[in-house]
Amino acid sequence: MDGPIEPRFDGATKHVLLAEDRAFLFPRNHTIVGQLERECDVYATVDHPLVSKLLGRWDEPAISPYPFFAVTRLRGSVPGDMSPEHLRLLAGQLGAALAACHDIGLERVPRPLWANAWSEPPLTPPTATECYSPLRELGGPEQLGKSVAPFIGPAARTTLLEALEAVDAMDPVLAHGDLYESHLLLDESGTLTGILDWGFGGVLSPLIDFTCSQWDSASWAAEGSYGDLRRHLWTAYAEHRSVPLPSWEQVHMALTTFDIVVLAPETETHYYWQKSAEWQAARRAAAGHSLQAQLT
């Protein structure tokens, strides 16, 4: 390579060498090879200006004991603390970008991406009822409805169940699967310039990119009210998708129900795992009040 190369060795899963126009990605150890292969399958499939493109793959034992890759370099920096106005702007830009990525035809997606990172891919691309879904991981619409019954009246259960079923029936897409601020890049004006780290990407329910469970607490604190971040994400997303989608009201009910169940002390899940027990309890209480308001 001509010109300087900047090492970045602080990543959780890979070492990165940054050149002027590309980034070289090296697995930290043998356990990361499959995840990085998966990430680069996404880069070879997605054609979007905010997603890197795969430039090459090498097996060179004299350089690295594991395969390494080169992708186009995206410029920008990870978002810091955000005002409510900045949060709305970023959510709108991200929602529009996700819509373009989710519109990619599944016939273009390689088979290793037909499931999440912990499952063997099926023989054919999964359907809406076969793909990974955050709602189905918690038991599906019927079980979720029963779990939040103490928060709502009997008359509202039919409305809630209809919303949960509509959201869970969305066709699978090539989703990111691990979206939060550290995987985004912004320029100095606050414009979104990159979506990084697709190692958990796969053919999944679109809802996986809207749970927002790993977002930083400061971003949640910038919400004007419960659900603002997701609302701005979903509104921009639905405006740019090329297929019919559930309404925001239905998605809001589904994600609010998701929060109530996933944040219950007895629920064992990877969602919100980095948040304190106090934060989780407060968020769950806010979700309960929100769901009651939505269904009255």
Contacts of 151 (CB under 8 A, 6+ apart): 260, 288, 291, 292
How confident is the model at residue 12, as a pLDDT? Answer: 87
Q: Please give the pLDDT value at position 105.
A: 96
Q: Helices H, strands E: what count in the chain?
A: 9, 9
195-250 pLDDT, tens digit per residue, is 999 999 999 999 999 999 999 988 999 999 999 999 999 999 999 999 999 999 99
Whether the pTM exceeds 0.75: the reply is: yes
Locate CATH 3.90.1200 in the chain.
84-294
Check: CB of residue 17 under 8 Å from CB of residue 5: yes
* 87 residue type, one letter: L
Intra-chain end-to-end CA distance of the chain, in Å: 63
Which part of the chain is CATH 3.30.200.20?
6-72
**Mean pLDDT (the chain, rounded):** 96
Per-residue pLDDT, 81:
87
Which residue bears the tokens 């990119």? 209
Q: Which of 134, 112, 135 has the alpha carbon at shortest distance from 122?
A: 112
For residues 199 and 13, give the distance between their C-alpha atoms in angstroms, rounded to a whole number.
Answer: 9
pLDDT at 267 over 90: yes
What pLDDT digit, counting tens, does each position of 15-60 carry? 999 999 999 999 999 999 999 999 999 999 999 999 999 999 999 9
Domain 84-294, what fold?
Answer: Aminoglycoside 3'-phosphotransferase; Chain: A, domain 2 (3.90.1200)
Neighbours of 112 (CB within 10 A): 14
- Structure confidence at residue 292 (pLDDT): 95
Which of 195, 202, 179 is CA-nearest to residue 48?
195
Q: What is the pLDDT of residues 70-125, one digit of tens each?
A: 999 999 999 988 899 999 999 999 999 999 999 999 999 999 999 999 999 999 99
Q: How far is CA 7 from the centre of its chain?
A: 27
Q: What is the pLDDT of residue 196?
A: 96
Q: Is 117 exposed, middle or buried (0-12, 13-18, 19+ CB in 10 A)?
A: middle
- pLDDT of 154 > 90? The answer is no
| Concatenated DSSP letters of 178-215 | --SGGGEEE-TTS-EEEE---TT-EEE-GGGGT--TTS
Mean pLDDT of 267-285: 95
3-class DSSP state for residue 16? strand
Distance CA 149, CA 152 (A): 5
**pLDDT the model gives residue 11:** 86
Residue 162 has pLDDT above 90, yes or no: yes
Pairing of strands 68-72, 54-58: antiparallel
pLDDT, position 1: 83
Q: With respect to CATH, is domain 6-72 assigned 3.30.200.20?
A: yes
User: What one-character DSSP code corresponds to residue 28?
Assistant: S
Tell me, what's the pLDDT at 296?
Answer: 87
For the chain, give the longest Cα–Cα distance: 68
